[in-house]
Amino acid sequence: MSSKTGLLTAVHLANISNTLAATRKYALGTLYVQLHPRYKDKARSTALGKLIADVYQSSPTVLAPGVDLRFLVSSLKAGDFIPPKRTLDYLFFDYPIASNVDNSVDPRQVYCGTPQVIELGTQPFAMNDTDFEDLLISTFPNVVLGGTFDRLHAGHKVLLTQAVLLAEERLVVGVTDENMIKSKRLWELILPVEQRIAEVRDFLEEIDTTIRYEAVPIRDPFGPTATDPNMDLIVVSTETARGGAKVNELRVKNGLNQLEVYTIDLLDDESTVDDKEDKISSSNQRMDLLGTRLKPRQPKPHLKSMPYVIGLVGGVASGKSKMAERFRKLGAGVIDCDKVAHELYEPGEDCYQAVINNFGTAIVNEDKTINRKALGAIVFSDQEKLNLLNTILWDAILERTKERIQSLYEKENKQIVIIEAAVLLRAGWQSACHEVWSCIVPKEESVKRLIERNGLSEAEALERCQAQISNTELVKHADVVFCTVWSYEYSQQQAERAWRTLVEDLKLKL
C-alpha cells in the first residue's frame, strides 16, 4: 500500500464526491478531509453528521482501493487550521487558493514538511450556508460508546466521529475483550484487544485534538458505564440501541444519573453479496480476509524453492478435504497424509511391524492387517500410548510424504503441492512446508457435520471436536485461512483467491 498522505480542505460540499475522486491519481495511502475552518458555526449541525456519513459511505467506490480516509474535525471546532501529526505529501483544495482573499492565515504555512499544493477545483472560494440545516445537536461534557472496533471501517469512523462532535471534554471508548467476541462471525480473526485500542486512540487523536480520550478494554456489556458517575451521553447504533436502555437501567440501580442516548444509523454495504451482511461491518471485512495472505511470505532457505509445498490443516469436518480437491482441480498436486498413514499400516511396511511389536498381536486381524479400531481403543484412552503411536507413525508419514512430493514434481511437473494433514501442527511438519493454510469452522458446525456425516451422537461429536487443535491455534500458524460454512461458491472464491495470489507471487505459468 502507498505511504503517500494528503489533506483535502473543502468548501464546495455539493461536489465533494467528485473532488475525492480527483485524488485517485495521486496513489494515496491516507487521505484526510476537513471542511474549511470558517464552517465553525456549523460544527453542531445535524447536517454535518450526515455529510460525514455520506463521505465515508461513498469512499470505497470514490477513492482508490485501500485508502485510509479520516475526516478531521479539530480545525472545525477551533475555527483555525490545525495540522495532523503526520507529514503531508499533498495539500488538496477544492477551490483556487488565491480566491480566498479574506482568509488571514495561509493554510499552506501551518502544515509539516513541504507538501505539494494541488487545486482540484476551479470554482472560487465561496461558502454556502444552505449546505447545512439550522437544527443543532446538543453537546455534553462526557460521552461514552463501546464496540469491538476490529480493523476500523467506515461505520466505525462515522460512529467515533459523531461521538467526538458530541463531546466537549472527554470521550470514553470501551473496546470488547476476548471473552466478549466469541459470538462474532470469524472471531478468531479479530485483532488482539490491545491492537484495537491502539488503533482507536490513533484515529481519535488525529481527527480531534481538543478533547481527552480514554480507550479501555471491557469484559462485560456495560464496562465503565456501570460505575463511572461522570458520564452524560452514550452513543449507540441502531443495532445496539437496546444496550443504551439497559445501561440506564443498571445506572439507576447503582444510584447514578441516567445517560442521554444518541443513536446513529448503520451504513449500508453497497458491495455486499448473498453470504454477507447488508451493512458495512467488521464481519464482512473478516470474510474478505478469507483466502488472502495474512502475513508476508517467509523465506525457507532449508527447503528447495520448487516444488512449493503448502501444508493444509484443519479440524475434523472443517472442509479441508473439499478444499484440497479444489486445489487439485486448479492444478496443484495433492497428498492426503491420512491415506499415507493407512498405507504404512499394511503388512510389509516398517511401521506395521513396529506397531505390532509395541501394541501386541491382539490388534491383528485374521488377514494379517491391523485392526485400527482395536488400536484406537487402546491409544485413545491412554495418552502415553497415543504418544508412542504418534512417534512411530509421524516421522514415517512425513518421510513417505516427502517422497511423494518429489515424485509429483519430477513425474507430473506439479510445481505446487498441497499436503492435507490434520496432525500437521501437532506433528511439527510446518517446517517441511513453505506455507501453512488452515480451514476453520465454528465448533457447532463441526458437531452438526459429524452427526450428519458419521452418524455420531451429539456427545460423541462434541468429544471429537474438543480433542482437535483449536481454531485460534490454526489461525495463529496460518499464512492463509479458509472457512467453509457458507455457500459452495463462496468457498470456491476463497480457494481461487489464494491460488491466484500464490501463482502470481511465484511467477508461475500453470
Nearest to 257 by CA among 242, 269, 247, 265: 247
Cα 95 to Cα 315: distance, rounded to the nearest angstrom: 58
Beta pairing, strands 167-176 & 116-119: unpaired
Taking the C-alpha atoms of residue 356 and residue 365, their distance in angstroms, rounded to an integer, is 11
Q: How many CB atoms lie within 10 A of CB 37?
A: 20
Q: What is the secondary structure of 138-198 as a DSSP string?
A: --EEEEEEEE---S--HHHHHHHHHHHHHEEEEEEEEEE-GGG-TTSTTGGGSPPHHHHHH
Nearest Cα neighbor of 477 from 433, 414, 416 is: 433
Which cell numbers hold the place of 31?
487521505
DSSP 8-state assignment for residue 23: T
Sign, CA torsion 470/475/478/484: positive
- 260-264 and 308-314 strand pairing: unpaired
Residue pair 427/477 in contact (Cβ under 8 Å)? The answer is no
216's grid cell? 479501555
**Residue reference for cell 458517575:** 229
Taken in order 366, 370, 372, 374, the sign of the CA dihedral is positive
DSSP codes, 471-496 = HHHHHHT-SEEEE-SS-HHHHHHHHH
Q: How far apart are CA 229 and CA 141, in angstroms?
A: 12
CA-CA distance, 427 to 339, in Å (whole number)? 16
Q: Render each residue's pLDDT in the chain as its tens digit; 510 residues.
A: 568 999 999 999 889 999 999 999 999 999 999 998 888 887 788 888 889 999 999 898 899 989 999 999 998 888 888 888 888 999 999 999 887 765 555 666 677 667 899 999 889 888 776 667 667 788 999 999 999 999 999 999 999 999 999 999 999 999 999 989 999 999 999 999 999 999 999 999 999 999 999 999 999 999 999 999 999 999 998 888 888 999 999 999 999 999 999 999 877 665 555 677 777 788 999 999 999 999 999 999 999 999 999 999 999 999 999 999 999 999 999 999 999 999 998 998 888 999 999 998 889 998 998 988 888 888 877 889 888 999 899 999 999 999 999 999 999 999 999 999 999 999 999 999 999 999 999 999 999 999 999 898 899 888 888 888 999 999 999 999 999 999 999 999 999 999 999 999 999 977
| 419, amino acid identity | I
Contact 332, 415 (CB under 8 A): no
Strand partners, 35: 10
**Strand 480-483 to 140-147 pairing:** unpaired
Whose cell is 439507576? That residue is 252
d(CA 169, CA 77): 12
Distance of alpha carbon 51 from alpha carbon 47, whole angstroms: 6
3-state secondary structure at position 386: helix
Stated pTM of the model: 0.89
Distance CA 79, CA 77 (A): 6
Question: Which amino acid, residue 53?
Answer: A
Q: For residue 308, what is its C-alpha cell?
A: 512449493
Going by C-alpha positions, the residue among 255, 249, 228, 211 that lies closest to residue 174 is 228
Say if strands 435-440 and 480-483 run parallel, antiparallel, or are unpaired.
parallel
Q: What is the Cα–Cα distance from 92 to 120, expressed in whole angstroms?
A: 7
Q: What span, in angstroms and rounded, lies between the C-alpha atoms of 163 and 57?
A: 17
